[in-house]
Amino acid sequence: MMKQVEGYVERITYRNEDNGYSVIYLSNPEPKADEDDEVCCVGFFSFVSEGEYLVINGRETVHKSYGPQIQVESYETKRPSSQVAIEKYLGSGAIKGIGAALAARIVRRFGEKTFEIIENEPERLAEIKGISMKMAVSVAKQFNDKRQMRQSVIFLQEYGISVNMAVKIYKFYGEKIYEIMQQNPYRLAEDIAGIGFKIADTIALKAGFNQDSEFRIKAGILYVLQQSGSNGHCYLPETELIDETAGLLGIERENVERELDNLTLNKELVIEECDGERRLYQSNLYYMEMNCGRMLHDLNIPYKIKPAVLEKKIAAIEKKDKIELDKMQKDAVFQAVQNGIMIITGGPGTGKTTTINTIIQIMESEGFDILLAAPTGRAAKRMSETSGMEAQTIHRMLEIDGGSLDDDRGGMHFERNETKPLEADVIIVDEFSMVDIYMLNALLKAIVPGTRLIMVGDVNQLPSVGPGNVLKDMIKSEFCNVVKLNRIFRQAAESQIVTNAHKINDGEQISLDNKNMDFFHLERSAGKDVINVTVQLIMKNLPPYVDATSYDIQVLTPMRKGELGVENLNKVLQAYMNPRMDGKNEHEFHGVIFRENDKVMQIKNNYQIKWERKNRFGDVYEEGTGVFNGDTGIIKQIIEAAEVVYVEYEEGKIVEYNFSDMDEMELAYAITIHKSQGSEYPAVILPIISGPRMLLNRNLLYTAVTRAKKCVTIVGSSDTVRRMIKNVNEQKRYSTLCQRIIEMGEYK
């Protein structure tokens, strides 16, 4: 039943600082005979403090353990007018520096007029013993800030903005928010993480902006360019940019053209004519490519080391490790020692790790300081295991600033940069195919000439998720020594996965006859049959075969949408692997059900989020921060009342997420092949029937197959597999790093 209650906030017994969910007790000023003199209210409150007077509308409910309470649906703050309330509010801790005693003194002096005086004549507070003029000013400021923030939040809520977001916005703009909403709400999309063009556009249209307002078009153009960055592009050809923007905004091309000129005049975008085409860059990406081109040349200096000395050292390592490096591997070692920059590329089993380990030993024997890094946490972990030396993520190596946002605008700040470079003689970075232009730029800025940079990766893997085609462009520019390892050392009999991966890469068809032990194909043509087989494999056949659990086996798929897309497969696999059950809590977020015991994946880097490790008695023995894009874990607990989810990641790291942060995770029974880059799994299942030709290419199949350590099973159409092997049309990437490297080389 709906009910309205009002009264002073007596006490706040629980508050979740992130989302404002609180349990509060209101004093009932005039309790009727059958009423308690305190009313418990639960719900979301933005800034209530003890002593405030609230009018609450809500639903009467009875909690099993706590008894009757009101589930708050809306509330209003009334200014406390009686002296008691004023005193309570002032002394509640809401205003820094004023405790209960001081509050009592203030109210004794100014009575009912206390608030008026704080607002209009704050200097008079200094008349009171114990309050200096400085403090009087601070009290007035805090008092006003709180009031203004409250008003702004209410104002922003009228435009459909949530309380959390409104607070964030107010903290950024302060009182300017009114002006911004009036003049250009599209600025929100530029300044506030979490507000994109689409939300800003809804707000602006609600606020009465026209379809073809100058701000809307500008914001639309920038949005389209930013989106293209998320699709891996560093620029867009002008015609494509105009068409997409006009389509997005539902306006004429001419209007877009007009604003495009203004944006380039103001240097917000950079335009370049090349090969008869006009290219438009977000200016940061344009300059990043150019600077990377220059820095790569700066680092690429020769080092003189006598070949005979090197030969001797290699021979000693070969003897110790009982291995004989082949010509290419030796060449790689030579190049690494003799040059400031080098690239080693090769497919699976071609001896990259063996080569890196030899290089490390040689560098160590020279007394050099070596740093090892990789783009993701999992890749870094693997590198540590295979080298026996600590490897870290590139972000950690560059000492990412905890407050950085790893968004698609590259808003990251690192402690290590041109003014405080990395102190090392040699830096080796593995899985370089995953490095985008932002990461390359940050890395190069932190390396000074005199430090060697060795980049290792498989150029045939999918390129980075972020903008750029870094590894490929660097190789294509031929600016430095590149060693391409192409001999497969791992025995063919040992691994059909490796053999097939190389065949796929060379465009050779693979045999899908199930005559080996680690590469299978089950022909099915209907989506529903593919799903049934996938479920059967993951639940029953594969775990004992590869000596792993169902949760270790990874379903990889090219697409997000459709019957065999990530979203649907996750729903189906969840229903089988972790069905709804009494006592198993669940929570729905944006249409997806998350349940205790679900396998989930973190989908963006979060450097601030805290993790804990507990011993078997539940005591915390280790704490740290950071969960990274691609980390997978299991939901251990969901607490609806506190709005939190606990996820356990590798090595028993437990992370608490607020419900509002659940957009950082996805179910992970099935994930896209793109997301699987840099990870390995004991067994991989690939359900493939058909899909867009653009997407289904050789590159994608190759990446998927090379993720498996012990077993690959393709379920679906062999015809599509054959077509994928033939399809060399990789998704196009508009990037000009190669050209910049060549241009910069000409100035040297």
Ligand X SMILES: Nc1ncnc2c1ncn2[C@@H]1O[C@H](COP(=O)(O)OP(=O)(O)OP(=O)(O)O)[C@@H](O)[C@H]1O
Binding site listing for ATP: 349-353
202 with 160: CB under 8 angstroms? yes
Q: Which residues bind ligand X (CB under 6 A)?
A: 323-326, 329, 346, 348-354, 489-490
Q: Look at residue 507 and give its three-state secondary structure.
A: coil
- What is the arrangement of strands in the sheet containing 269-274, beginning at the earlier edge strand? 235-237, 277-282, 269-274
Nearer to ligand X, 32 or 320 (CB): 320
Distance CA 53, CA 318 (A): 79
Residue 669, amino acid: Y
Phi, psi dihedrals of residue 637, rounded to the nearest 5° = -155, 145
Q: Any idea what the Cα angle at residue 303 is, between residues 297 and 304, rounded to 5°?
A: 150
Tokens of 8: 């002073």
- Nearest approach, Cβ of residue 256 and ligand X (Å): 46
Tokens of 141: 């400021």
573 with 556: CB under 8 angstroms? no
410 with 391: CB under 8 angstroms? no
Separation of CA 467 from chain center:
15
Nearer to ligand X, 324 or 423 (CB): 324
Nearer to ligand X, 282 or 354 (CB): 354
Nearer to ligand X, 50 or 326 (CB): 326
- Nearest approach, Cβ of residue 601 and ligand X (Å): 23
- Nearest approach, Cβ of residue 713 and ligand X (Å): 19
**Tokens 């390396």 found at:** 447
Q: Look at residue 627 and give its three-state secondary structure.
A: strand
Nearer to ligand X, 323 or 634 (CB): 323
- Nearest approach, Cβ of residue 740 and ligand X (Å): 29
- Nearest approach, Cβ of residue 668 and ligand X (Å): 23
Strands 554-557 and 681-688: parallel
709 with 681: CB under 8 angstroms? yes
Name the binding residues: 349-353
Nearer to ligand X, 138 or 329 (CB): 329
Nearer to ligand X, 172 or 489 (CB): 489
**H helices, E strands: number in the chain:** 26, 28
Distance CA 133, CA 147 (A): 21
What value does the CA radius of gyration of the chain take, rounded to a whole number of Å? 31
- Nearest approach, Cβ of residue 428 and ligand X (Å): 13
- What is the arrangement of strands in the sheet containing 391-393, beginning at the earlier edge strand? 391-393, 370-374, 426-429, 452-457, 341-346, 481-485
Sign of CA dihedral 533, 534, 535, 539: positive
- Nearest approach, Cβ of residue 520 and ligand X (Å): 20
Nearer to ligand X, 323 or 609 (CB): 323
Q: Look at residue 396 and give its three-state secondary structure.
A: helix
Nearer to ligand X, 325 or 422 (CB): 325
Q: Which residues contact 647 (CB under 8 A, 6 or more apart)?
A: 600, 633, 634, 635, 636, 654, 655, 657, 665
Phi, psi dihedrals of residue 743, rounded to the nearest 5° = -60, -45
What separation in angstroms does the CA of 128 have from each of 84, 94, 101, 110, 183?
19, 19, 12, 10, 44
For residue 339, list its beta bridge partners. Answer: 302
DSSP 8-state class, residue 664 = G
- Nearest approach, Cβ of residue 502 and ligand X (Å): 11
- Please report which helix (H) or strand (E) contains residue 505, including its range: helix 496-506
- Nearest approach, Cβ of residue 464 and ligand X (Å): 18
Tokens of 247: 């389509």
Sign of CA dihedral 488, 491, 495, 499: positive
- Nearest approach, Cβ of residue 352 and ligand X (Å): 3
Nearer to ligand X, 280 or 459 (CB): 459
For residue 263, the tally of other CB atoms under 10 A from its CB is: 19
Maximum separation of any 2 CA atoms in the chain, in Å = 100
156 with 169: CB under 8 angstroms? yes
Instruction: Tell me which residue of 209, 205, 210, 223 sits closest to 263, measured CA to CA.
Output: 223
Distance CA 286, CA 637 (A): 46
**Tokens 């059909």 found at:** 496
- Nearest approach, Cβ of residue 319 and ligand X (Å): 13
Nearer to ligand X, 460 or 602 (CB): 460
- Nearest approach, Cβ of residue 541 and ligand X (Å): 25
Strands 606-614 and 620-627: antiparallel
Nearer to ligand X, 92 or 354 (CB): 354
Distance CA 745, CA 748 (A): 5
Nearer to ligand X, 375 or 716 (CB): 375
- Nearest approach, Cβ of residue 473 and ligand X (Å): 22
Distance CA 478, CA 294 (A): 14
Nearer to ligand X, 279 or 330 (CB): 330
Distance CA 48, CA 42 (A): 12
Strands 2-15 and 53-63: antiparallel
- Nearest approach, Cβ of residue 342 and ligand X (Å): 16
- Nearest approach, Cβ of residue 654 and ligand X (Å): 31
Nearer to ligand X, 226 or 357 (CB): 357
